[in-house]
Amino acid sequence: MNKRTATRQGRPLWMFLPGGLLTLVVIAVPLALALYISLLDLDQYSIREWVGAEFIAFDNYVEAVRDSHLVHAIGISIAYSALVTIGCLPLGLAAAIATQDRFKGRGLVRSVLLVPYVLPAFVVGSTWRIILQPDGIANRIFGTEGLWLNGPRSFWALVIVQLWAGWPLVYLLAAAGLQSVDATVHEAAALDGAGPWAKLRYVVLPQLRGPVSLGLLISFLHNVNSFTLPFVLFGVPSPYDVEVLPVLTYVESFQNFEFGLSVAMAVVSLILVAIPLAVYLRAVRLDTGRGPK
Amino acid sequence: MDRRKFVALTAALALGAALTACGNDESGDAGDNSGVTLTMLMGVNNIYPEQQRAWFAEVSDKFKQETGATVRFETFASANDELTKIQTSVVAGQGPDVYALGTTFTPTAYATDAFVELKDDDWNKVGGRDRFLPATLGISGPDKDHEVGIPFASRPFVMAYNKDMLAAAGIDKPADSWDGLRDQAKQLTKAGQYGLAIGYADSFDPWKFIWAMTTQAGTPVVQDGKAALDGANTKLAYQTYLGWLATDKVVDKAAVGWKNAQAIAAFGEGKAAFLPMVSASSKVTLDKSKVAGKYAYAVMPTIPPGATSLPSGGVAATSILSGDNVVVAKYSKHKDLALALVKLLTSEEMQTSYYKTFGELPTNQAAATALGSDPALAAIVESAGKSANTPFTGGWSQVQLALTNVVVQSIPDLSAGRVDDAKLTGLLGQAQTTAQEALDKAK
Amino acid sequence: MRSRSEEVARLLPTPARVATLSVLLLIVLGPLAYMAIASVSSDLAVARGALWPDGFHIDNYARIWRTTELARGLVNSVLIAGAVAVVSAFVALLSAYVLVRYAFRGRIAVLRALLALQSIPGTLLLLPVFVLFASAATALGVTIIGTRWAVLITYLTFALPFSTWVMVTYLRELPPELDEAARVDGASPWRVLTRVIAPLSWPGLVVSGVFAFLLGWNDVLFASVLTNPDTRTAAVELQIFGASQEGGALPVYGQLMAAALVCAVPVVALYLVFQRYLVAGLTTGGVR
């Protein structure tokens, strides 16, 4: 389908100009600057004259990989982000599908479901911190006991809270995707006498593949980079089980004032995230729009 | 990245630096200052928000009368926010002219070399170095000739105690040793009531206890550029602090998840007899709580764990030297005006009104002396005079973090009601390495 | 007639829908209910983790407007996030249209790059962006930092990769016959885009706009260094409620919760308005 639609004639490439220019100035150039900083011995003693900070090539990278908790942190970050992303899928799909049919109060329900995503992360973090404290209401309501914000259970606390705050993104995208399901598809399904489950499984869900894959991917990337929520929930220094990457780079930057090292850590994580990203993109063929149907 | 791009980037960086440098010419402040706006960055006060805005307006008016220039106040909401602003401003060479910083952050600020070091002439411009309480100058710089921080407010730490509970148990006053405090706490612990309220999960409280106990023992965690986090007294301090919950059981088990706020809430509920490590600002909260009128402040113990009197070499510190210092940015184009603003802020009149509005103690000697006679403040004023400064090193922030990390990583064990000796030793060993590395890097 | 086609398009039997929505609403509303309770509690009660308020401190809702310049923050946020939403949806439509309908070298690379841009943490860019804006301001002799423009441009750019992708996934589903017909008639790409494609892309535009809006609405990191007290956004003002003095006073928890709920209202209201455009069937009918 793409072959036929994509044309080479009269390409209005100028339409890229506004987006391209902004991306260049606000993302590409700062990113290049950040890469340069990662090669400097930049700390509290050299920051004022930062251009003159000693150029130490890849020493920061070596230190990041060898001497810091970076590898551990990347493991935690990727594991919890993946779990949250997997959890977003059923919630997001269920919400989109259940709010698709017209019913009284649908607008309100659609909006309310979005609220967790609307609250700033530090509000979500502060609220859950209080809910999850040892004498807080979570333990009282569920009859559980002990620590949620430190120790092994803290990992699950992070998954739960991040999932609560993040799933509406998938819902939002799935809801939009549902709109492009052609009415004729419904007609056909009705003629075939497909039940609701069969229709969902074989007709509707395949159509949502694009937007939902996109949502899951973005959700994963956002979780990997999410700083405020773990920071507010667990504080610094992080308990070992929730020592996620953004908090680690924050500590290097603002508690230890190892700015160069901190940027190097962020770059390493960027690269490590880029690898699964590339694999995923090939697998779901998101970029070509051709699915393995 | 290929060569050409690299050259281009370097050129861009140099250009940026040049542009920043050009903006740094010191224009004389003599003559007409109208149209000049100074910016000062301060912590936001959400307890007295309207009063703070009124105070901003008052300062601005007064300053305009005196100099013709206006002051614009910017606020930060958290230490996080503040550090980000300082970092970006220092790198870009533009931003607020004057900053109010927490005292323990002053060494780091000094390390950046981004703030004005005060010469005799500069001290004269802020009204003379001798207008300040000598104790409050303890963390202004590495020595008397290299000071960047001008004391602005003093917030020494003290201990709140529940007068009724102590009276009921027949205790006439809080102990002056940590062992004594533990014994009193044991005596005060009964059903629904604990001896101590401690915020083990706080990001700041834990290291202050360890610092105090080790300083009192005469083995400070940092001395002459050497860290002593793996020493016997440091370990004893941690065992004491963690032991309150694990072995002495004088702290609510839930306190493993408490921050300072939850500890205050427990004390305010009347569920704990002692609340150590609070400042005068806790008064606002406690006066609205169930213990209003039933509590008082006392200085914290000054005799270290395991001792009955101050060991030789020990310092009877009641608190870290705490409060706010103001610093003037080197990139400021209006240094003399900035110093004039500091002079106004630290004058007896403004310091007194600041205390009356926000409850933070003056650093101005005359203003502090006038307040000393108030009995309600006795303990807090006493603690202000007996505070000791944290070591003045650019690596202090890392040491502080390492100290706190030991508590954070011990919490799962603590929650299970134990302090694992081997694990504690391991954590202290790590902390020692981290702290020493940071101190070695200090220039 | 309408009801029949609606009946055909129905996805879930009513009981299944009710059950699903009940579970979802419980998950969402549980913690929100706790926030609502906390918003009328005293700060001490919240700190204690109390399940029920100690009295009914409705005045928290009055005090939030005096504790910070929350109203001004909300105005700034609506202006900034609103502009980001509209502009980014439009700019994204432009880029996405080219990406979907035209073939050119590096097309797949651009698409991949758009996703890769999403993996850059904001903390990595904060300092360089600030330095860049500061240097540009000095070079051009204008004020950038502290203005609404600074945050507007930053959010706009951060929103673009995702917004563009949303539009790409959406435009792919539009039948190509639509614009082919117009192109054969000699309409310029601009005309095809604005007259044919844009009106049919509402759901996509709404979603990418909503996303961009939320990005601008929730960010604290960039807003806290790029704004001044007059241009501060609501998210930054909200942070003030959570501030606490070391070793002393509690954060004003009650007001924090009240303010957070109040700040969510404009977004919910906006979504209530715009979700009407999230309606099936817009893509059909045009061709037949």
Q: Which residues of B, range 353-392, sit inside 8 Å of A by Cβ?
A: none
Q: How far apart are CA B230 and CA B433, in angstroms?
A: 9
Residue C227: both structure tokens together: 């704004």
User: In the structure, what pLDDT confidence band is assigned to residue C280 with cuts at 50, 70 and 90?
Assistant: low
Specify the pLDDT at position C5: 65
Per-residue pLDDT at A95:
95
Enter the ipTM: 0.85
d(CA A268, CA A262): 10
- Whether B262 and chain A come into contact, CB under 8 Å, resolves to yes
What is the predicted pLDDT for the residue at B28? Answer: 43
Specify the number of domains making up chain C: 1
Model pTM score: 0.88
pLDDT of B69: 94
Q: Which range is least confidently modeled, A191-205, B327-341, B344-358, C9-23?
A: A191-205
pLDDT score, position C73: 94
Q: Which residue has the tokens 């607008």?
A: A107
pLDDT value of position A2: 44
Position A7 pLDDT exceeds 80: no
Q: Which domains does chain A have, with CATH numbers?
A: 13-57 (no CATH), 61-284 (1.10.3720.10)
Decide if C31 is inside a domain: no
pLDDT tens for residues B152-207? 999 999 999 999 999 999 999 999 999 999 999 999 999 999 999 999 999 889 99
Q: Give the pLDDT of residue C255.
A: 92
Among residues B142, B80, B132, B33, the alpha carbon closest in space to that of B395 is found at: B142
Q: Is residue C6 part of a domain?
A: no
Q: Ranked by mean pLDDT, which of A32-46, A48-62, B50-64 comes out on top?
A: B50-64
- CB interface of A with C, residues 150-169, below 8 Å: 164, 169
Sorting pLDDT into bands at 50, 70 and 90, what band is C91?
A: very high
Average pLDDT over residues A26-52: 86
Spatial strand order in the sheet of B323-328: B70-76, B37-43, B98-102, B323-328, B150-154
Show residues of chain A in contact with B409, CB under 8 Å. Answer: 239-240
Distance of CA C58 to the CA centre of its chain: 29
Token duo for residue A211: 């937007």
Q: Which among B87, B111, B257 is the nearest to A149, CB-wise?
A: B257
Say if B14 is an interface residue toward chain A (CB within 8 Å): yes
Q: Alpha-carbon distance A175 to B53, whole Å?
A: 46
Instruction: Give the residue numbers spanning the domain of C216.
Output: 67-277
**Window from B16-30, B162-176, C14-28, C40-54 with minimum mean pLDDT:** B16-30
pLDDT confidence of A9, banded at 50, 70, 90? low
Domains of chain B: 15-155+321-388 (3.40.190.10), 158-317+393-441 (3.40.190.10)
Q: Check CB contact under 8 Å for B394 and A240.
A: no
User: Which of the two residues, B403 and C130, has the higher pLDDT score?
Assistant: B403
The answer on pLDDT for A29 being more than 50 is yes
Put simply, the chain B residues between 218 and 257 with a CB less than 8 A from any chain A CB are 252-257
Alpha helices in chain A, H assignment, sequence order: 2-5, 17-23, 29-37, 59-67, 70-98, 106-112, 115-118, 121-132, 137-142, 153-166, 168-179, 183-191, 196-199, 205-207, 209-225, 228-234, 245-250, 259-284
Q: Work out the mean pLDDT of chain A and round it to a whole number.
A: 85
Lowest mean pLDDT of A155-169, C81-95, C125-139, name the range. Answer: C125-139
Instruction: Compute the distance between CA of residue A136 and CA of residue C46 in angstroms, rounded to an integer.
Output: 10
pLDDT grade for A288, boundaries at 50, 70 and 90:
low
Using an 8 Å CB-CB cutoff, list chain B residues near C49. Answer: 262
What is the distance in angstroms between the Cα of A34 and the nearest Cα belonging to chain C?
Answer: 6
Compute, in degrees rounded to 10, the torsion defined by CA atoms B202, B207, B212, B216.
Answer: 150
Q: Name which of A285-289, B199-203, C72-76, C157-161 the model is least confident about.
A: A285-289
Please choose, from the candidates B205, B145, B136, B220, the residue with its C-alpha nearest in 3D space to the C-alpha of residue B439.
B220
Mean pLDDT over residues A149-163, rounded? 94
Domain CATH code at residue C157? 1.10.3720.10
The predicted structure's pLDDT at residue B185:
97
Q: Which residues of chain B have pLDDT under 50?
A: 1-2, 5-6, 14-30
Closest CA–CA distance from residue B425 to any residue of chain A (Å): 17
Q: Is the confidence at residue A293, as pLDDT, over 50?
A: no
Taking the Cβ of residue B114 and every Cβ of chain A, the question of whether any pair is shorter than 8 Å is answered with: yes
From CA B31, how far away is CA B35, in angstroms rounded? 12
Give the angle subtended at the CA of A248 by the CAs of A59 and B215, to the nearest 5°: 95
Residue type at position A130: I
The whole-number average pLDDT for the span A10-29 is 87
What letter would DSSP give residue B169? T
| CB within 8 Å of C202: residues ≥ 6 apart | C277, C282
The predicted pLDDT at position B10 comes to 52
